[in-house]
């Protein structure tokens, strides 16, 4: 599955896109000024609990927050 396919599935399931997850992560203190401030496990646990995302989809959001991937990644 491509990274974009992960983002599309997450958007369909949650109604939220990358900008929404960035804003929520900032509000929760997982990022500070756009820089990662939490461990992968903390972020994936949040996404699994609050949005019922699977591990792979939660890791896609983690990669987005960490800056490994972005909306233009394939």
**Domain range annotation of the chain:** 3-66
For 3, residues 6+ apart whose C-beta sits below 8 A from its C-beta are 60, 63, 69, 73, 74
Assigned token pair, 24: 């929520």
Identify the residue whose tokens are 């949650």.
Answer: 14
Assigned token pair, 62: 């983690």
Cα separation, 24 vs 21, whole angstroms: 5
Q: What is the pTM of this model?
A: 0.94
Per-residue pLDDT tens for 9-56? 999 999 999 999 999 999 999 999 999 999 999 999 999 999 999 999
């Amino acid at each position: 599955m491509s990274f974009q396919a992960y983002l599309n599935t997450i958007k369909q399931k949650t109604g939220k896109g990358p900008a929404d997850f960035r804003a929520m992560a900032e509000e929760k203190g997982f990022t500070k000024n756009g820089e990662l401030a939490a461990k992968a496990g903390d972020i994936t646990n949040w996404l699994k609990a609050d949005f019922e995302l699977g591990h792979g989809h939660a890791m896609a959001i983690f990669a987005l927050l960490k800056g490994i991937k972005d909306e233009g990644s394939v």
